[in-house]
Amino acid sequence: MLLNGLTVEAMGKLSLFDLGQLPGQAPPPGQVSNFIDPSNLIAEAAVTLSISWFSVIVATGLRIYSKVSADKPFTADDCKYTLTNEDLGLY
């Protein structure tokens, strides 16, 4: 394993429990490792999940409304669909 001088110096300062702060390899040319404030996609994931969850709730509501307004009984397929969509909301 080839280590550069900065890695060897950093390893001397860190305990074994803090090895997650060391890079696996050198970053590409022109980039710097950022362990203090790394980028993440939490906001984008939250927006995507919120839109998806809202769409599922609306689709389920429309399906239930159409069954109730047409005076048709709920079949096993309708119950399975409704329960499956309700399970998605538990996450």
Is pTM beyond 0.85? Reply is no
- Are 22 and 7 contacting, i.e. CB atoms less than 8 angstroms apart? yes
User: Taken in order 45, 47, 48, 52, is the CA torsion positive or negative?
Assistant: positive
Which pLDDT tens digits describe the chain residue by residue (91 residues)? 455 656 666 656 655 556 666 667 777 888 887 778 878 899 999 999 999 889 888 888 888 888 888 887 777 777 777 677 666 555 4
Domain ranges for the chain:
1-33, 42-88
Residue 72's SS3 state is coil
